[in-house]
Amino acid sequence: MAVLPMKLNVGLVGGTGYTGVELLRLLAQHPNATLRCITSRKDAGTPVGDFFPSLRGHPALDRLAFCTPDEADPTECDVVFFATPHGVAMAQAETLTAANTKIIDLAADFRLQDPAEFERWYNMPHACPHLLKEAVYGLPEVNREAIRQARIVGNPGCYPTAVQLGFLPLLEANLVDAGNLIADCKSGVSGAGRKAEMSIIFPEAADNFAAYGVAGHRHHPEIKQGLRRMSKQQVQLTFTPHLAPMIRGIFATLYATLTDDSVDVQALFERRYAHEPFVDVLPAGKLPDTRSVRASNMVRIAVARRPHGVTVLVVEDNLVKGAAGQAVQNMNLMFGLPETTGLTALPVSP
């Protein structure tokens, strides 16, 4: 007798932003996912295809309209994605976990393990620190086995995904000075969200290049937390984000000082990521660009030696591997599905 494929009832809280539409695009094509509810207070009653014309005509979405949170019952779902501002997921976490509904939060509610650190950076107390303790940080290349057993996953931020994957092989092998790490990062404007804000409207962002968050960025403590776990020691990180005049993409240029000049860093990265389905280590001498990962869940990495140091170049699509794609990758792991399910589409070019 043929075994029927697992079918998951999926809910999406906050589906009108850029990560929301990316989740809808990926989940609509996922063979094991059935979208049951998509919430939006402002746009309740609007058919999904009317709100996002790019999604018109897909049978999984044509029957769906946004509904208010009061009209939806996410406890009927196997998993609920939160593509919402910080603070929303943690307010509903106890109700959902009590109903055996799993949570994947694309905001920061379950990324930082220290409630005081969360409050410092997000200006709100954590609503459920007892659940925070069991939440798993959703970077599969580091926490794959823990994600398989998780009820709550804090999906990593876009910058933290690129920076951590770039430094990971070096810190795991204790081959660089953890007290002097530098991350010089650039993001497309979609990383700022789907909102009307002066710095990200077209006349301001086009034909321009600017740093921001230099005095302190919310992703900084998240990155440091991950790097400390990799290196098993304290780290010092200089992290500077920039806004680039493009819609999608993260480009992270990372610098570290080697403690062993004899190491073959190219071979080190190739060994570490040899079996990772969404990390591509480029051949020596090749350099990545953001277009090579557009609309895909792939990360591409290049490494280059310099005197007593190493430069690591990392590119990803901030809305896919940096957000929605990684969230679907985590869902696959949480429910015992092949990790690549629904995520094998090739990048889009040009």
Residue 115 bridge partners (DSSP): none
Domains of the chain: 8-134 (3.40.50.720), 158-318 (3.30.360.10)
Q: What is the pLDDT of residues 112-143, one digit of tens each?
A: 999 999 999 999 999 999 999 899 999 999 99
How many other CB atoms are there within 10 angstroms of residue 269's CB atom? 23
Instruction: Please give the share of the chain, as a percent, with pLDDT higher than 90.
Output: 87
Q: What's the sign of the alpha-carbon dihedral 50, 8, 319, 66? A: positive
Q: Find the mean pLDDT for residues 328-347.
A: 97
**Which amino acid would we find at residue 209?**
F
For 176, the token pair is: 């660089």
Percent of the chain residues topping a pLDDT of 70: 98
Structure tokens at 260: 């062993």
Q: Give the residue with greater pLDDT, 109 vs 193.
A: 109
Across all residues in the chain, what is the average pLDDT?
94
- pTM: predicted TM-score of the whole model, two decimal places: 0.95
pLDDT digits (tens, 9 = 90+) for 243-259: 999 999 999 999 999 99
pLDDT in tens, 23-79: 999 999 999 999 999 999 889 999 999 999 999 999 888 889 999 988 989 999 999
Question: Residue 66 and residue 48: Cα distance in Å, rounded?
Answer: 6
Beta strands in the chain (DSSP E): 8-13, 33-39, 79-82, 102-105, 136-137, 152-154, 181-187, 210-211, 237-243, 250-257, 279-281, 299-306, 309-316
In the set 37, 67, 128, 158, the catalytic residue is: 158
Clarify whether 67 is annotated catalytic.
Answer: no
